[in-house]
Structure 1
């Protein structure tokens, strides 16, 4: 194998596939990246066996030659070392050559590295995925769906299925739900071209976080192929595979209240900032608890206290309030995470009592729902 490539394009490709490489893997070859060069270009593959990412760099892009292929071939090289070497090479061009016994030479300017590679035939094959269930979502919309739900997954391995986001396609709609049993985030999306089959899968939260970093903010379509054990996200030049989580996701629909005693309309940014200030004192306490209570004159009070430090109270103007007075306490972190998803929009908070879960929706749009379970303090 022998080829020349523009250093910045090789680095871009490495930065994408490095997101799948884990130093903790028990399979030594997975600490490496597989490089495979043909006349068409260079494919780079990284994997930790749960997530596999492959990106492809074309020999020619927009009429410019990016790669000059002298001899086709493949090699596996230690990922972190390769990334560091390429990052620090002295010129904008890189030459790579693999000789006998996987001996690999990387040259740039007057600099030459000699690395011992690994036999590429030992690298695991990519999962074979037939086009079972195909969804097409714009990458900017997919990023929003991930951002609005994935923070609510559980971080505890005691119930592994809750560490993922439940994706369900039903009646032409994609419903994404995440919960750690103290809070819940749900996003609904009407599909322009729904798949023929309904499906029901749980995608690991970690996988969705990594995917979000890779797909960027363009409106390019992402093709999503789902099978019984794997999901594949395909963009123009990246293939992102993730295993699915096993187990039945709990029926979360019965957690969402249908009747409310108090309905408050207000701005999410104003509430977020008040809770952020109140949490300065709250976070000194173990539970990071903030209190929320209705007041006369279209106002609510956000407060917190710490026996060692003091207390804070802040009144915020609200747009409307209907129903009974309310006093409740909640985790500042959970509430701030939920409000971030609304991106400064006006929200409706619907409450059924001091110890009952309450929900938050956007005033203009009910496709996003956040639910939080209060904490007993009053």
Structure 2
């Protein structure tokens, strides 16, 4: 195999596929990047068997030649070293040559690296996915959906299904739900599809997969193709394939958890409330005591307090935009509220309470596409 390639495109694609490669894999070949040169260009693949990413660098794009294929072929090279090498090569062209016994030479300017490759025949084949269940969503909307849900997944492996985000599709609407059993985030969005009555209700995508996907899809209004099968999901954009396995098991029914009435409604400025909760937690020790006490006062004022016995106490009163309903005193995990407020795309939020010991809702005022549910904390 021999080809000459544009360095910037090569570095960019290598960085994408290395996001799928884990140093902790038990399959040695998966610590490498598979490189294939053929008549279409150069294809790079990285995988840890949960996530697989494939990038294609075409021979030319927009009239610019990116790759010159001298001899077709394939090789697997150690990702850890290869990614660092290509990033630091001096010239804007890189030549890669594979000889007998998988001996590989990388040349750029006066710099020459000789690397020991691995047999590409040992590299696992990527899943072959039937593109029956396909829908599309804008790239920038997808990034936004991930940002507004994945923070709420569980990090504990005791309930593996909660480490993923549940996707449901019905009536050309995607509903994404994440919960760690103490908080819940829901984000809805319209999708595009040619399939009548396309419906899914138990697709659970690992949070880690979605985080990596968010890093490599473009932040524009181009369309991302999404294909779902029984145990895999595929995201396709220009010159990029991103496969993820789906989590096994049934996601908990979360619809019944969302209250349909409230006793107290409070409207607050998002940024001011976020900063007040952040100040309330300044005395919490090592992030362990994140409890914030919240109570309504007269004239539309709420009081926020936080006590750390060995350090001290914080008290702050803030004005609400509007306060309706019964008096309220409640305690909650302040860090969970902060996480949600940071991803709210609205200057104003509405918080709806049904009582001191019942879960409460937080949602942006100017959108019905997102909501957050929190369990209160018992302080007595």
Helix, strand or coil at the partner of 2:282: helix
Deviations 1:189-234, CA, capped at 9 Å, x for gaps: 2334374331121111100000001113111100000000100000
Paired position in structure 1 for 2:242: 240
Distance 1:239 1:183, change over 3 A: same
Q: In the TM superposition, what whole-angstrom CA distance separates every residue of 1:301-340 from its partner, at most 9, and x where no partner exists?
A: 2221212221111111111111111111111210011112
Counterpart in 1 of 2:50? 50
Which residue does 1:306 correspond to in 2? Answer: 308
Give the corresponding residue for 1:371. Answer: 373
Deviates more, 1:292-301 or 1:365-374: 292-301
The equivalent residue for 1:39 is: 39
Contact persistence 1:75–1:118 (CA under 8 A): yes
What aligned pairs does 1:8-19 form with structure 2 within 5 A after superposition? 8-19=8-19
* Aligned counterpart, 1:224: 226
Residues 262, 324 of structure 1: 8 Å contact kept: yes
TM-superposed deviation, 1:257:
1.0
SS in 1 for 2:262: coil
State the secondary structure of the residue aligned to 2:283. Answer: helix
| Alignment partners' CA distance in 1, 2:194 and 2:170 | 9
2:169 corresponding residue in structure 1: 169
Is it true that 1:290 corresponds to 2:275 in the alignment?
no
TM-score, normalization by structure 2: 0.97
Q: Is the 8 A contact 2:36 2:42 kept in 1?
A: yes
Determine helix, strand or coil for the equivalent of 2:146.
Answer: helix
Shift of 1:345: 2.3
1:91 aligns with 2:88: no
Structure 2 equivalent of residue 144 of structure 1: 144
Aligned equivalents of 1:89, 1:192: Cα separation in 2: 42
3-state SS, counterpart of residue 13 of structure 2? helix
Q: CA deviation at 1:135?
A: 1.2
Following superposition, the deviation at residue 366 of structure 1 comes to: 1.4
Deviations 1:122-177 (CA, angstroms, capped at 9, x unpaired): 11111010012111000000111111111111111111111111101123321111
Measured after TM superposition, the shift of residue 59 of structure 1 is 1.5
When residues 173 and 283 of structure 1 are mapped into structure 2, their CA distance, relative to the original with a 3 A threshold, is farther
- Alignment check: 8 A CA contact 1:184 1:372 kept: yes
In the alignment, the residues of structure 2 paired with residue 306 and residue 283 of structure 1 have an alpha-carbon distance, to the nearest angstrom, of 7
The Cα of 1:184 is off from its aligned counterpart by: 0.3
- Within 2, Cα distance between the matches of 1:322 and 1:283? 34
Q: How many residues align?
A: 378
Q: Does 1:199 align with 2:220?
A: no
**Counterpart Cα distance in 1 of 2:287 and 2:168:** 39
SS at match of 2:281: helix
Verify the 8 A CA contact 1:153 1:205 in the aligned structure 2.
yes
Aligned equivalents of 1:309 and 1:136: distance in 2?
52
Worse-superposed segment, 18-27 or 198-207 = 198-207
Tell me the distance in 1 between the aligned counterparts of 2:7 and 2:241. Answer: 22
Q: Given the two structures, how large is their TM-score scaled by the length of structure 1? A: 0.97
- Counterparts of residues 321-340 of structure 1 (less than 5 Å): 321-340=323-342
What SS does the aligned partner of 2:341 have? helix
Q: Structure 1 residues 308, 10: closer, same or farther in 2, change over 3 A? A: same
1:284: Cα distance to partner?
4.6
Please report the RMSD computed on the Cα atoms of aligned residues, expressed in angstroms: 1.3
